[in-house]
Amino acid sequence: MMFHEEFECMPRPALEALQLKRLQATVARVHGNVPFYRESLAKAGIKPADINSLEDLQRIPFTTKQDMRDSYPYGLFAAPMEEIVRIHASSGTTGKPTVVGYTQKDISTWTELMARSFVAAGVHKGDIIHNAYGYGLFTGGLGAHYGAERLGASVIPISGGNTKRQIVIMKDFGSTVLTCTPSYSLYMAEAAREEGVDFRDLKLRVGIFGAEPWSETMRGEIEAKLNLAALDIYGLSEIMGPGVAIECIEAKHGLHIWEDHFIAEIIDPDTGKVLPEGEKGELVITTITKEGIPLLRYRTRDITSITREPCKCGRTHARIARMSGRSDDMLIIRGVNVFPSQIESILMRIEGVEPHYLLIVDRDGNLDTLEVQVEVDERIFSDEVKVLQALSKQIEKEIKDLLGVTCTVRLVEPKTIARSEGKAKRVNDKRKM
Amino acid sequence: MKVEQISIFIENKSGRLAEVTGILGEAGVNIRALSLADTSDFGILRLIVNDCEKAKQVLKERGFTVNKTEVVAVEVPDQPGGLSRILQVLDREKINVEYMYAFVERCGENAVIIFRFDETDKAIKALQDSSFNVLPGERLYSM
Protein backbone atom coordinates (compact mmCIF):
# COMPACT_ATOMS: atom_id res chain seq x y z
CA MET A 1 0.00 0.00 0.00
CA MET A 2 1.16 3.49 -0.81
CA PHE A 3 -0.21 6.86 0.04
CA HIS A 4 1.33 8.86 -2.81
CA GLU A 5 2.18 6.11 -5.24
CA GLU A 6 2.90 8.54 -8.07
CA PHE A 7 5.64 10.18 -6.04
CA GLU A 8 6.83 7.21 -4.03
CA CYS A 9 7.43 5.10 -7.14
CA MET A 10 8.56 7.90 -9.41
CA PRO A 11 11.37 6.71 -11.71
CA ARG A 12 14.64 8.13 -10.46
CA PRO A 13 15.36 10.39 -13.45
CA ALA A 14 11.99 12.07 -13.00
CA LEU A 15 12.47 12.20 -9.23
CA GLU A 16 15.88 13.82 -9.65
CA ALA A 17 14.50 16.32 -12.15
CA LEU A 18 11.82 17.22 -9.61
CA GLN A 19 14.47 17.55 -6.90
CA LEU A 20 16.52 19.93 -9.05
CA LYS A 21 13.53 22.10 -9.85
CA ARG A 22 12.58 22.28 -6.18
CA LEU A 23 16.18 22.85 -5.08
CA GLN A 24 16.49 25.78 -7.46
CA ALA A 25 13.30 27.28 -6.06
CA THR A 26 14.51 26.78 -2.49
CA VAL A 27 17.90 28.39 -3.14
CA ALA A 28 16.16 31.32 -4.78
CA ARG A 29 13.77 31.60 -1.83
CA VAL A 30 16.42 31.64 0.89
CA HIS A 31 18.67 33.89 -1.18
CA GLY A 32 15.83 36.35 -1.41
CA ASN A 33 14.44 36.08 2.13
CA VAL A 34 17.17 35.00 4.55
CA PRO A 35 20.14 37.33 5.08
CA PHE A 36 22.17 34.43 6.55
CA TYR A 37 21.90 32.46 3.31
CA ARG A 38 22.38 35.50 1.11
CA GLU A 39 25.72 36.07 2.86
CA SER A 40 26.84 32.45 2.97
CA LEU A 41 26.00 31.92 -0.70
CA ALA A 42 27.78 35.14 -1.63
CA LYS A 43 30.82 34.04 0.36
CA ALA A 44 30.87 30.77 -1.55
CA GLY A 45 30.48 32.70 -4.82
CA ILE A 46 27.12 31.14 -5.67
CA LYS A 47 24.15 32.80 -7.25
CA PRO A 48 20.80 30.98 -7.41
CA ALA A 49 21.19 30.80 -11.19
CA ASP A 50 24.39 28.75 -10.75
CA ILE A 51 22.46 25.71 -9.52
CA ASN A 52 22.03 23.75 -12.73
CA SER A 53 22.41 20.20 -11.54
CA LEU A 54 22.04 18.25 -8.31
CA GLU A 55 25.85 18.04 -8.17
CA ASP A 56 25.94 21.84 -7.83
CA LEU A 57 24.44 21.35 -4.38
CA GLN A 58 27.90 20.26 -3.21
CA ARG A 59 29.18 23.80 -3.72
CA ILE A 60 26.71 25.19 -1.20
CA PRO A 61 28.03 25.67 2.34
CA PHE A 62 26.61 23.59 5.18
CA THR A 63 24.10 24.82 7.72
CA THR A 64 24.81 23.73 11.29
CA LYS A 65 22.95 23.59 14.56
CA GLN A 66 25.20 26.46 15.66
CA ASP A 67 23.94 28.57 12.75
CA MET A 68 20.41 27.94 14.01
CA ARG A 69 21.39 28.94 17.53
CA ASP A 70 23.10 32.07 16.26
CA SER A 71 19.89 32.96 14.45
CA TYR A 72 17.74 32.38 17.53
CA PRO A 73 14.79 32.56 17.44
CA TYR A 74 13.55 33.50 13.96
CA GLY A 75 16.69 34.49 12.04
CA LEU A 76 16.52 31.68 9.50
CA PHE A 77 12.83 31.99 8.77
CA ALA A 78 12.18 32.49 5.07
CA ALA A 79 8.54 33.47 5.46
CA PRO A 80 7.08 36.52 7.20
CA MET A 81 5.80 35.81 10.72
CA GLU A 82 2.19 36.34 9.69
CA GLU A 83 2.51 33.30 7.47
CA ILE A 84 3.94 31.12 10.24
CA VAL A 85 1.13 29.07 11.76
CA ARG A 86 3.12 26.82 14.11
CA ILE A 87 6.34 27.02 16.06
CA HIS A 88 8.24 24.04 17.45
CA ALA A 89 11.55 23.92 19.23
CA SER A 90 14.11 21.37 20.29
CA SER A 91 16.46 21.50 23.25
CA GLY A 92 19.71 23.38 22.81
CA THR A 93 23.04 23.35 24.61
CA THR A 94 22.88 26.60 26.46
CA GLY A 95 19.25 26.57 27.43
CA LYS A 96 18.31 28.20 24.14
CA PRO A 97 16.27 25.88 21.97
CA THR A 98 16.47 25.55 18.21
CA VAL A 99 13.33 27.15 16.84
CA VAL A 100 11.48 26.15 13.70
CA GLY A 101 8.41 27.73 12.08
CA TYR A 102 5.88 26.19 9.73
CA THR A 103 3.67 27.87 7.20
CA GLN A 104 0.25 26.39 6.46
CA LYS A 105 1.80 24.66 3.47
CA ASP A 106 4.64 23.26 5.60
CA ILE A 107 2.15 21.78 8.07
CA SER A 108 0.27 20.30 5.16
CA THR A 109 3.47 18.79 3.68
CA TRP A 110 4.46 17.36 7.06
CA THR A 111 0.98 15.91 7.52
CA GLU A 112 1.09 14.31 4.08
CA LEU A 113 4.56 12.87 4.64
CA MET A 114 3.63 11.53 8.06
CA ALA A 115 0.52 9.90 6.58
CA ARG A 116 2.70 8.51 3.79
CA SER A 117 5.09 7.15 6.44
CA PHE A 118 2.23 5.50 8.34
CA VAL A 119 1.07 3.78 5.18
CA ALA A 120 4.61 2.62 4.40
CA ALA A 121 4.58 1.07 7.88
CA GLY A 122 1.42 -0.84 7.05
CA VAL A 123 -0.98 1.46 8.90
CA HIS A 124 -4.34 2.27 7.31
CA LYS A 125 -7.68 3.91 7.82
CA GLY A 126 -9.47 1.99 10.53
CA ASP A 127 -6.36 1.63 12.67
CA ILE A 128 -6.38 2.99 16.20
CA ILE A 129 -3.12 4.81 16.75
CA HIS A 130 -1.90 5.07 20.33
CA ASN A 131 0.37 8.11 20.02
CA ALA A 132 2.67 8.16 23.03
CA TYR A 133 5.12 10.67 21.60
CA GLY A 134 5.22 13.82 23.69
CA TYR A 135 2.88 16.60 22.62
CA GLY A 136 4.23 20.10 22.91
CA LEU A 137 7.24 21.94 21.58
CA PHE A 138 8.71 18.55 20.66
CA THR A 139 7.59 17.67 17.13
CA GLY A 140 6.92 13.99 17.81
CA GLY A 141 3.40 14.14 19.24
CA LEU A 142 1.75 16.62 16.91
CA GLY A 143 3.61 15.37 13.84
CA ALA A 144 2.36 11.83 14.23
CA HIS A 145 -1.06 13.09 15.30
CA TYR A 146 -1.73 15.13 12.15
CA GLY A 147 -0.47 12.33 9.92
CA ALA A 148 -2.75 9.84 11.64
CA GLU A 149 -5.80 12.06 11.19
CA ARG A 150 -4.91 12.75 7.55
CA LEU A 151 -4.83 9.03 6.99
CA GLY A 152 -8.27 8.73 8.51
CA ALA A 153 -7.09 6.52 11.34
CA SER A 154 -8.35 7.05 14.89
CA VAL A 155 -5.69 8.71 16.96
CA ILE A 156 -5.41 8.55 20.74
CA PRO A 157 -3.38 11.60 21.78
CA ILE A 158 -2.12 9.98 24.96
CA SER A 159 1.33 11.69 24.91
CA GLY A 160 4.05 10.41 27.28
CA GLY A 161 3.94 9.35 30.91
CA ASN A 162 1.55 7.53 33.24
CA THR A 163 2.47 4.16 31.87
CA LYS A 164 -0.13 2.17 33.81
CA ARG A 165 -2.90 4.27 32.31
CA GLN A 166 -1.34 3.90 28.86
CA ILE A 167 -1.58 0.14 29.17
CA VAL A 168 -5.19 0.21 30.33
CA ILE A 169 -6.11 2.50 27.43
CA MET A 170 -4.22 0.44 24.86
CA LYS A 171 -6.08 -2.61 26.07
CA ASP A 172 -9.55 -1.11 26.50
CA PHE A 173 -9.48 1.11 23.41
CA GLY A 174 -8.18 -1.67 21.19
CA SER A 175 -5.13 0.23 19.93
CA THR A 176 -3.63 -1.37 16.83
CA VAL A 177 -0.64 0.92 16.32
CA LEU A 178 1.79 2.24 18.90
CA THR A 179 4.00 5.27 18.33
CA CYS A 180 6.66 6.16 20.90
CA THR A 181 10.38 5.92 21.54
CA PRO A 182 11.78 2.39 21.33
CA SER A 183 12.98 2.46 24.93
CA TYR A 184 9.57 3.55 26.15
CA SER A 185 7.94 0.64 24.34
CA LEU A 186 10.10 -1.79 26.29
CA TYR A 187 9.35 0.07 29.49
CA MET A 188 5.66 -0.38 28.69
CA ALA A 189 6.23 -4.08 28.17
CA GLU A 190 7.72 -4.36 31.63
CA ALA A 191 5.00 -2.29 33.22
CA ALA A 192 2.37 -4.42 31.49
CA ARG A 193 3.92 -7.57 32.83
CA GLU A 194 3.80 -6.15 36.35
CA GLU A 195 0.15 -5.27 35.83
CA GLY A 196 -0.53 -8.76 34.62
CA VAL A 197 -1.36 -7.59 31.09
CA ASP A 198 -0.21 -9.85 28.29
CA PHE A 199 0.60 -8.05 25.04
CA ARG A 200 -0.66 -11.08 23.14
CA ASP A 201 -4.14 -10.16 24.34
CA LEU A 202 -3.80 -6.66 22.88
CA LYS A 203 -4.62 -5.75 19.30
CA LEU A 204 -1.33 -3.99 18.57
CA ARG A 205 -0.03 -4.87 15.13
CA VAL A 206 2.56 -2.22 14.31
CA GLY A 207 4.90 -0.09 16.39
CA ILE A 208 6.56 2.98 14.92
CA PHE A 209 9.54 3.90 16.99
CA GLY A 210 11.93 6.79 16.70
CA ALA A 211 13.51 9.86 18.29
CA GLU A 212 16.45 7.87 19.65
CA PRO A 213 18.95 5.40 18.25
CA TRP A 214 18.13 1.71 18.58
CA SER A 215 19.39 -1.56 17.21
CA GLU A 216 18.31 -4.69 15.38
CA THR A 217 18.66 -6.62 18.63
CA MET A 218 16.30 -4.21 20.28
CA ARG A 219 13.87 -4.64 17.41
CA GLY A 220 13.85 -8.37 18.05
CA GLU A 221 13.23 -7.80 21.72
CA ILE A 222 10.42 -5.28 21.13
CA GLU A 223 8.73 -7.50 18.56
CA ALA A 224 8.86 -10.48 20.90
CA LYS A 225 7.69 -8.60 23.97
CA LEU A 226 5.02 -6.41 22.40
CA ASN A 227 3.87 -8.87 19.76
CA LEU A 228 3.94 -6.37 16.87
CA ALA A 229 6.04 -5.38 13.87
CA ALA A 230 8.52 -2.73 15.02
CA LEU A 231 9.58 -0.12 12.48
CA ASP A 232 12.16 2.63 12.64
CA ILE A 233 11.10 6.18 11.84
CA TYR A 234 13.46 9.13 11.47
CA GLY A 235 12.96 12.82 11.71
CA LEU A 236 14.29 15.94 13.32
CA SER A 237 12.58 19.18 14.07
CA GLU A 238 15.11 21.26 12.13
CA ILE A 239 14.15 19.43 8.95
CA MET A 240 10.47 18.91 9.73
CA GLY A 241 9.82 16.45 12.54
CA PRO A 242 8.94 12.77 12.39
CA GLY A 243 8.26 11.38 8.94
CA VAL A 244 11.45 12.45 7.11
CA ALA A 245 12.25 8.76 6.61
CA ILE A 246 10.73 5.44 7.61
CA GLU A 247 11.20 1.74 7.06
CA CYS A 248 8.66 0.03 4.86
CA ILE A 249 6.85 -2.94 6.34
CA GLU A 250 7.68 -5.01 3.26
CA ALA A 251 11.46 -4.90 3.63
CA LYS A 252 12.20 -3.53 7.12
CA HIS A 253 15.59 -2.80 5.72
CA GLY A 254 16.65 0.82 5.65
CA LEU A 255 14.49 3.91 5.97
CA HIS A 256 13.06 5.47 2.81
CA ILE A 257 13.85 9.14 2.90
CA TRP A 258 11.17 11.10 1.06
CA GLU A 259 13.29 12.46 -1.72
CA ASP A 260 10.59 14.52 -3.36
CA HIS A 261 10.93 16.81 -0.30
CA PHE A 262 14.46 16.24 0.93
CA ILE A 263 17.86 15.75 -0.63
CA ALA A 264 20.09 13.49 1.41
CA GLU A 265 23.86 13.41 1.23
CA ILE A 266 26.38 11.46 3.27
CA ILE A 267 29.55 13.35 4.05
CA ASP A 268 32.79 12.71 5.85
CA PRO A 269 32.16 14.64 9.08
CA ASP A 270 35.80 15.73 9.25
CA THR A 271 36.45 16.86 5.68
CA GLY A 272 32.89 17.69 4.60
CA LYS A 273 33.43 15.72 1.37
CA VAL A 274 30.45 13.84 -0.05
CA LEU A 275 30.98 10.10 0.30
CA PRO A 276 30.07 7.46 -2.28
CA GLU A 277 26.86 5.49 -1.94
CA GLY A 278 27.03 2.84 0.76
CA GLU A 279 29.75 4.50 2.82
CA LYS A 280 29.08 5.46 6.38
CA GLY A 281 29.18 9.13 7.26
CA GLU A 282 27.16 12.08 8.49
CA LEU A 283 23.70 12.60 7.05
CA VAL A 284 23.20 16.03 5.49
CA ILE A 285 19.70 17.06 4.46
CA THR A 286 18.49 19.86 2.22
CA THR A 287 14.79 20.66 2.40
CA ILE A 288 13.37 21.45 -1.02
CA THR A 289 9.72 22.23 -0.37
CA LYS A 290 9.75 24.06 2.95
CA GLU A 291 8.67 27.68 3.21
CA GLY A 292 8.96 28.57 6.89
CA ILE A 293 12.54 27.54 7.49
CA PRO A 294 14.15 25.87 4.49
CA LEU A 295 17.62 24.59 5.28
CA LEU A 296 20.42 24.05 2.78
CA ARG A 297 22.72 21.14 3.54
CA TYR A 298 21.83 20.84 7.20
CA ARG A 299 24.32 18.73 9.12
CA THR A 300 22.19 16.35 11.16
CA ARG A 301 25.20 14.89 13.01
CA ASP A 302 23.59 11.50 12.62
CA ILE A 303 25.83 8.78 11.25
CA THR A 304 24.36 6.51 8.60
CA SER A 305 24.82 5.40 4.99
CA ILE A 306 22.57 5.66 1.96
CA THR A 307 21.56 3.30 -0.81
CA ARG A 308 19.56 3.90 -3.98
CA GLU A 309 19.22 0.20 -4.70
CA PRO A 310 15.63 -0.69 -5.62
CA CYS A 311 13.60 -1.85 -2.65
CA LYS A 312 11.26 -4.80 -2.79
CA CYS A 313 8.36 -2.55 -1.78
CA GLY A 314 8.61 -0.81 -5.14
CA ARG A 315 9.44 2.63 -3.80
CA THR A 316 12.23 4.36 -5.67
CA HIS A 317 13.24 6.65 -2.83
CA ALA A 318 16.71 6.08 -1.38
CA ARG A 319 17.08 4.31 1.93
CA ILE A 320 19.24 5.38 4.82
CA ALA A 321 20.57 2.81 7.26
CA ARG A 322 19.57 2.74 10.90
CA MET A 323 21.38 5.59 12.69
CA SER A 324 24.52 4.18 14.21
CA GLY A 325 25.66 7.14 16.23
CA ARG A 326 26.28 10.85 16.20
CA SER A 327 29.23 12.81 14.96
CA ASP A 328 29.10 15.31 17.80
CA ASP A 329 28.87 14.87 21.51
CA MET A 330 25.09 15.02 21.71
CA LEU A 331 23.57 12.17 23.65
CA ILE A 332 20.05 10.95 23.22
CA ILE A 333 18.86 9.68 26.57
CA ARG A 334 15.37 8.27 26.62
CA GLY A 335 14.54 10.38 23.60
CA VAL A 336 15.84 13.59 25.16
CA ASN A 337 18.73 15.41 23.52
CA VAL A 338 21.43 16.05 26.08
CA PHE A 339 24.68 17.85 25.48
CA PRO A 340 27.45 17.43 28.05
CA SER A 341 27.87 21.20 27.98
CA GLN A 342 24.32 21.61 29.33
CA ILE A 343 25.18 19.49 32.33
CA GLU A 344 28.42 21.37 32.72
CA SER A 345 26.62 24.70 32.89
CA ILE A 346 24.26 23.33 35.55
CA LEU A 347 27.18 22.09 37.63
CA MET A 348 29.01 25.38 37.28
CA ARG A 349 26.06 27.21 38.75
CA ILE A 350 26.30 25.18 41.94
CA GLU A 351 28.69 26.81 44.33
CA GLY A 352 31.89 24.90 44.81
CA VAL A 353 31.30 22.25 42.19
CA GLU A 354 34.30 21.75 39.95
CA PRO A 355 33.78 21.43 36.22
CA HIS A 356 35.27 17.96 36.44
CA TYR A 357 32.52 15.55 35.66
CA LEU A 358 31.89 12.40 33.73
CA LEU A 359 28.62 11.25 32.24
CA ILE A 360 28.08 7.52 32.23
CA VAL A 361 25.28 6.46 29.96
CA ASP A 362 24.12 2.90 30.15
CA ARG A 363 21.06 0.83 29.64
CA ASP A 364 19.45 -0.83 32.62
CA GLY A 365 17.15 -3.43 31.19
CA ASN A 366 15.48 -1.32 28.56
CA LEU A 367 15.82 2.16 29.91
CA ASP A 368 18.71 4.49 29.33
CA THR A 369 20.40 5.52 32.53
CA LEU A 370 22.53 8.55 33.16
CA GLU A 371 25.03 8.77 35.96
CA VAL A 372 26.75 12.06 36.55
CA GLN A 373 30.03 11.70 38.40
CA VAL A 374 31.08 14.84 40.18
CA GLU A 375 34.36 15.33 41.97
CA VAL A 376 34.14 16.37 45.59
CA ASP A 377 36.57 19.05 46.58
CA GLU A 378 36.97 20.89 49.86
CA ARG A 379 34.45 23.56 49.04
CA ILE A 380 31.56 21.14 48.82
CA PHE A 381 32.85 18.44 51.12
CA SER A 382 31.24 18.14 54.52
CA ASP A 383 31.76 15.80 57.43
CA GLU A 384 28.02 15.28 57.44
CA VAL A 385 26.53 12.69 55.12
CA LYS A 386 23.25 14.55 54.78
CA VAL A 387 24.96 17.64 53.37
CA LEU A 388 26.59 15.62 50.60
CA GLN A 389 23.40 13.74 49.90
CA ALA A 390 21.50 17.01 49.67
CA LEU A 391 24.05 18.22 47.15
CA SER A 392 23.56 15.12 45.01
CA LYS A 393 19.80 15.60 45.20
CA GLN A 394 20.10 19.24 44.21
CA ILE A 395 22.17 18.42 41.13
CA GLU A 396 19.77 15.63 40.19
CA LYS A 397 16.81 17.96 40.55
CA GLU A 398 18.35 20.76 38.51
CA ILE A 399 19.25 18.39 35.70
CA LYS A 400 15.74 16.96 35.78
CA ASP A 401 14.14 20.41 35.82
CA LEU A 402 16.27 21.91 33.09
CA LEU A 403 16.93 19.00 30.78
CA GLY A 404 13.97 16.77 31.56
CA VAL A 405 16.15 13.77 32.11
CA THR A 406 16.44 11.73 35.29
CA CYS A 407 19.97 11.00 36.45
CA THR A 408 21.82 9.79 39.48
CA VAL A 409 24.70 11.82 40.81
CA ARG A 410 27.70 9.97 42.13
CA LEU A 411 30.22 11.87 44.17
CA VAL A 412 33.78 10.80 43.51
CA GLU A 413 37.18 11.65 44.90
CA PRO A 414 39.08 14.48 43.29
CA LYS A 415 41.31 13.70 40.32
CA THR A 416 39.58 10.39 39.73
CA ILE A 417 38.05 11.62 36.50
CA ALA A 418 40.64 11.34 33.79
CA ARG A 419 42.13 14.62 32.65
CA SER A 420 43.24 14.39 29.10
CA GLU A 421 45.17 16.78 26.94
CA GLY A 422 42.92 18.68 24.63
CA LYS A 423 39.35 17.48 24.53
CA ALA A 424 38.29 16.13 27.88
CA LYS A 425 36.49 12.85 27.87
CA ARG A 426 33.16 13.77 29.35
CA VAL A 427 31.07 10.86 28.24
CA ASN A 428 31.28 7.15 28.66
CA ASP A 429 28.44 5.68 26.63
CA LYS A 430 28.23 2.02 27.57
CA ARG A 431 25.01 1.35 25.68
CA LYS A 432 25.29 -1.45 23.19
CA MET A 433 23.29 -0.61 20.13
CA MET B 1 37.01 23.19 74.84
CA LYS B 2 36.64 22.12 71.27
CA VAL B 3 38.42 19.28 69.60
CA GLU B 4 39.68 19.40 66.05
CA GLN B 5 38.60 16.55 63.86
CA ILE B 6 39.54 15.91 60.27
CA SER B 7 37.14 14.31 57.85
CA ILE B 8 38.15 12.63 54.63
CA PHE B 9 36.03 11.84 51.59
CA ILE B 10 36.45 8.25 50.55
CA GLU B 11 34.85 6.52 47.61
CA ASN B 12 33.51 3.07 48.30
CA LYS B 13 36.24 1.07 46.70
CA SER B 14 38.57 -1.45 48.17
CA GLY B 15 41.85 -0.32 49.63
CA ARG B 16 41.00 3.33 50.14
CA LEU B 17 40.81 3.13 53.92
CA ALA B 18 44.11 1.27 54.03
CA GLU B 19 45.62 3.98 51.88
CA VAL B 20 44.56 6.72 54.28
CA THR B 21 45.83 4.96 57.35
CA GLY B 22 49.01 4.06 55.48
CA ILE B 23 49.70 7.68 54.57
CA LEU B 24 49.12 8.76 58.16
CA GLY B 25 51.32 5.98 59.50
CA GLU B 26 54.20 6.94 57.19
CA ALA B 27 53.91 10.55 58.35
CA GLY B 28 54.03 9.47 61.97
CA VAL B 29 50.51 10.64 62.68
CA ASN B 30 48.75 8.74 65.41
CA ILE B 31 45.03 8.12 65.26
CA ARG B 32 43.24 8.69 68.57
CA ALA B 33 39.68 8.03 67.59
CA LEU B 34 37.80 7.40 64.40
CA SER B 35 34.42 6.81 62.91
CA LEU B 36 33.31 6.01 59.42
CA ALA B 37 29.98 7.10 58.00
CA ASP B 38 29.09 5.33 54.82
CA THR B 39 26.54 5.46 52.04
CA SER B 40 26.29 3.17 49.05
CA ASP B 41 28.63 5.37 47.03
CA PHE B 42 31.01 7.02 49.44
CA GLY B 43 32.16 7.21 53.01
CA ILE B 44 33.27 9.97 55.31
CA LEU B 45 36.13 9.03 57.56
CA ARG B 46 36.38 11.19 60.69
CA LEU B 47 39.55 11.13 62.67
CA ILE B 48 40.98 12.65 65.77
CA VAL B 49 44.74 12.52 65.54
CA ASN B 50 47.72 13.74 67.50
CA ASP B 51 48.69 16.20 64.74
CA CYS B 52 45.73 17.53 62.87
CA GLU B 53 47.61 19.97 60.61
CA LYS B 54 50.14 17.42 59.51
CA ALA B 55 47.49 14.79 58.84
CA LYS B 56 45.55 17.23 56.72
CA GLN B 57 48.62 18.28 54.81
CA VAL B 58 49.88 14.78 53.94
CA LEU B 59 46.44 13.59 52.91
CA LYS B 60 45.86 16.62 50.72
CA GLU B 61 49.21 16.09 49.07
CA ARG B 62 48.04 12.65 48.12
CA GLY B 63 44.90 14.00 46.52
CA PHE B 64 42.33 13.41 49.24
CA THR B 65 39.59 15.87 50.04
CA VAL B 66 40.04 16.78 53.69
CA ASN B 67 38.11 19.11 55.93
CA LYS B 68 38.62 20.20 59.49
CA THR B 69 35.69 20.48 61.85
CA GLU B 70 35.24 21.17 65.52
CA VAL B 71 33.68 18.52 67.71
CA VAL B 72 33.16 18.17 71.43
CA ALA B 73 34.65 15.40 73.58
CA VAL B 74 32.81 14.55 76.77
CA GLU B 75 33.94 12.18 79.48
CA VAL B 76 31.31 9.81 80.76
CA PRO B 77 31.63 7.31 83.56
CA ASP B 78 32.14 3.92 81.96
CA GLN B 79 29.00 2.43 83.48
CA PRO B 80 25.34 1.87 82.61
CA GLY B 81 23.34 5.10 82.14
CA GLY B 82 26.39 7.26 81.49
CA LEU B 83 25.50 8.27 77.96
CA SER B 84 21.83 8.52 78.69
CA ARG B 85 22.37 11.31 81.21
CA ILE B 86 24.30 13.36 78.65
CA LEU B 87 21.63 12.91 76.02
CA GLN B 88 18.93 13.97 78.47
CA VAL B 89 20.70 17.28 79.01
CA LEU B 90 21.04 17.85 75.28
CA ASP B 91 17.42 16.98 74.70
CA ARG B 92 16.26 19.39 77.38
CA GLU B 93 18.28 22.18 75.77
CA LYS B 94 17.01 21.21 72.31
CA ILE B 95 20.53 20.72 70.98
CA ASN B 96 20.80 18.59 67.89
CA VAL B 97 23.42 15.86 67.61
CA GLU B 98 24.60 15.60 64.02
CA TYR B 99 26.56 12.45 64.80
CA MET B 100 28.57 10.90 67.61
CA TYR B 101 31.00 8.14 68.34
CA ALA B 102 32.62 6.77 71.45
CA PHE B 103 35.79 5.16 72.69
CA VAL B 104 37.13 4.08 76.04
CA GLU B 105 40.18 5.77 77.49
CA ARG B 106 43.27 3.64 77.46
CA CYS B 107 44.01 3.50 81.14
CA GLY B 108 41.10 5.23 82.75
CA GLU B 109 37.73 4.42 84.09
CA ASN B 110 35.86 6.55 81.65
CA ALA B 111 34.50 6.48 78.15
CA VAL B 112 34.89 9.46 75.86
CA ILE B 113 32.07 10.45 73.53
CA ILE B 114 32.77 12.64 70.54
CA PHE B 115 29.83 14.78 69.51
CA ARG B 116 29.22 16.88 66.45
CA PHE B 117 26.55 19.45 67.30
CA ASP B 118 24.77 22.00 65.21
CA GLU B 119 25.33 24.53 67.99
CA THR B 120 28.70 23.68 69.46
CA ASP B 121 29.11 26.53 71.96
CA LYS B 122 25.64 26.17 73.35
CA ALA B 123 26.21 22.45 73.78
CA ILE B 124 29.49 22.92 75.63
CA LYS B 125 27.85 25.36 78.02
CA ALA B 126 24.90 23.09 78.68
CA LEU B 127 27.15 20.11 79.34
CA GLN B 128 29.43 22.06 81.65
CA ASP B 129 26.48 23.55 83.50
CA SER B 130 25.36 20.01 84.19
CA SER B 131 28.85 19.18 85.51
CA PHE B 132 29.96 16.93 82.69
CA ASN B 133 33.64 16.87 81.97
CA VAL B 134 34.21 18.41 78.53
CA LEU B 135 37.73 17.49 77.49
CA PRO B 136 40.06 20.03 75.92
CA GLY B 137 41.58 19.08 72.56
CA GLU B 138 45.13 18.77 73.90
CA ARG B 139 44.04 16.05 76.27
CA LEU B 140 42.86 13.92 73.37
CA TYR B 141 45.72 14.67 71.00
CA SER B 142 48.26 13.60 73.58
CA MET B 143 46.31 10.73 74.99
CA distance A383 to chain B (A): 6
Find the CATH number of the domain harbouring B21: 3.30.2130.10
pLDDT reported for residue A317: 97
How far does A372 lie from chain B, in Å, by closest CA?
13
A5-328, superfamily in CATH?
Answer: ANL, N-terminal domain (3.40.50.12780)
Residue A354 pLDDT = 67
> Does residue B64 share a domain with residue B18?
yes
In a shared domain, residues B80 and B45: no
CB contact under 8 A, B11 and A416: yes
* A 330-389 residues inside an 8 A Cβ radius of B: 376-378, 381-385, 388-389
Co-location of B29 and B62 in the same domain: yes
Q: Are residues B110 and B74 in the same domain?
A: yes
CB-CB neighbors (< 8 A) of A378 in chain B: 65-67
> What's the CATH number where B106 sits?
3.30.70.260
Q: Are residues B29 and B61 in the same domain?
A: yes
Whole-number pLDDT of residue A298: 97
Instruction: Tell me if B9 and A384 make a contact (CB, 8 A cut-off).
Output: no
Same-domain check for residues B60 and B76: no
B125 and B137 both lie in a single domain: yes
Q: Please list, in sequence order, all residues whose beta carbon lies within 8 angstroms of the beta carbon of residue A154, skipping any fewer than 6 positions away.
A: A127, A128, A129, A148
Residues of chain B whose beta carbon is less than 8 angstroms from a beta carbon of chain A are: 5, 7, 9-11, 16, 37, 39, 41-42, 44, 46, 63-67, 69, 98-99, 116
Residue-number span of the structural domain to which B102 is assigned: 70-141
Per-residue pLDDT tens over the stretch B114-143: 999 989 999 999 999 988 999 988 888 877
Q: Are residues B78 and B136 in the same domain?
A: yes
Report pTM: 0.67
**8 Å CB contact of B9 and A389:** no
Q: Does A94 touch chain B (CB under 8 A)?
A: no
Same domain, B82 and B24: no
Distance CA B54, CA B31 (A): 12
A383 closest CB neighbour out of B11, B42, B69: B69
A213: which DSSP letter? -
DSSP for A353-414, please give it: --S-EEEEEEEETTEEEEEEEEE--TTT--SSHHHHHHHHHHHHHHHHHHH----EEEEE-T
Q: How far apart are CA A236 and CA A396, in angstroms?
A: 27
Give A410's contacts in chain B (Cβ within 8 Å): 41
Confidence of residue B108 (pLDDT cuts 50, 70, 90): low
Of A88-92, A361-365, B9-13, B89-93, which range is least confident? Answer: A88-92
**pLDDT score, position A422:** 41
Domain segments of chain A: what residues? 5-328, 332-429
Which residue among A378, A385, A389 places its CB closest to the CB of B67?
Answer: A378
User: How is A36-98 classified by DSSP, letter by letter?
Assistant: HHHHHHHHTT--GGG--SGGGGGGSPPB-HHHHHHTTTTTT--S-GGGEEEEEEE--TTSPPE
Q: Name the phi and psi angles at A128, rounded to 5.
A: -110, 110
- DSSP-derived secondary structure letter, A199: G
Q: Which of chain A's residues have a Cβ under 8 Å away from the Cβ of B9?
A: 376, 381, 411, 413
Nearest-by-Cβ selection for A413 from B5, B11, B39: B11
Instruction: For residues A364 and A22, give the distance between their C-alpha atoms in angstroms, rounded to a whole number.
Output: 46
| Interface confidence (ipTM) of the complex | 0.85
Name the residue among B11, B16, B37 with its Cβ closest to that of A385: B37
| Whether B130 and B75 share a structural domain | yes
Question: Structurally, how many domains does chain B consist of?
Answer: 2
What pLDDT does residue A424 have?
55
Positions in chain A short of pLDDT 70: 91-95, 325, 352, 354-355, 418-425, 433
CATH topology of domain A332-429: GMP Synthetase; Chain A, domain 3 (3.30.300)
Residues B62 and B76 in one domain: no
**B81 shares a domain with B37:** no
* pLDDT tens-digit readout, A215-236: 787 898 899 999 999 999 999 9
